Amino acid sequence: MQSINTVWHHATVTRHRRNQQNNHKSAVLWFTGLSGSGKSTLAHCVEEELYQLGCRTIVLDGDNVRHGLCGDLGFSDVDRKENLRRIGEMSKLFVEAGVITLTAFISPFSDDRNRVKSLMGQSEFIEIFVDCSIDICEKRDTKGLYKKARKGEVANFTGVSSPYEPPENPDLVVDTGSQTLDESVKLVMNLLIDRGIINNEN
């Protein structure tokens, strides 16, 4: 999708120069999983760790984004696709700005996640599957959404009335049903070090 009569303006301050200034690389950490799996909690805790290291970060949370940028969208398959398209494009802009971008979205469909991945380079998109059984997610149910979905009060609810397609080859699987939050954060941080996004000197 591209507007007509537009030409891309190449800036002199590039992502590479921003990364050098920040002393870390920019990337998208894409947390995907069922509602209640702990995506937002994990993303914000990882961000806190990165912040303490002096990294430039932002968390794009599913609920928060729907208060503004995507407030006009519902939860049909078509709207979810558009929701992730917008998030993908916004994430790409943050990566260009030198920011480590952490996104917490159910993003239930593989095609949609792969489409976002295609916007960026292979090394810039890190898919993290926050794996947690639906039984545990329902027991947590902090928002009461599963109960409403079971009663038919919430349509197109992932895991109940709408499917979730787990990533086939995620960069990292975090089992929040059995691992502690500290253990989960450490796994993500170690991956970022291994990938050269951050280093031990940050």
Distances (CA, A) of 131 to 70, 92, 94, 161: 26, 25, 26, 19
Write down the pLDDT at residue 197: 95
Q: Residue 121 corresponds to which tokens in the numbers above? A: 């380079």
Catalytic-role residue among 26, 37, 107, 162: 107
Write down the pLDDT at residue 201: 66
Using CA atoms, how far apart are residues 133 and 55, in angstroms rounded to an integer?
32
Write down the pLDDT at residue 143: 80
Using CA atoms, how far apart are residues 28 and 57, in angstroms rounded to an integer?
10
Class of domain 15-133+163-186: alpha beta
The parts of the chain modelled with pLDDT lower than 70 are 1-3, 5-9, 62-63, 65-70, 201-202
Q: Are strands 57-61 and 172-175 parallel, antiparallel or unpaired?
A: unpaired
Helix 39-52 / helix 181-194 crossing angle, nearest 10 deg: 60
Q: Residue 18 corresponds to which tokens in the numbers above? A: 């921003």
| Contact (CB, 8 A) for 56 and 129 | no
CA 185 to chain centroid, in Å, comes to 15
| Contact (CB, 8 A) for 174 and 184 | yes
Write down the pLDDT at residue 67: 66
Write down the pLDDT at residue 134: 92
Write down the pLDDT at residue 5: 63
Write down the pLDDT at residue 13: 73
Write down the pLDDT at residue 63: 67
Write down the pLDDT at residue 10: 72
| Contact (CB, 8 A) for 30 and 119 | no
Listed by start position, the domains of the chain span 15-133+163-186
Concerning whether 123 is annotated as a catalytic residue, the answer is no
Per-residue pLDDT tens digits for 137-181 = 999 887 888 889 898 888 888 888 888 999 999 999 999 999 999
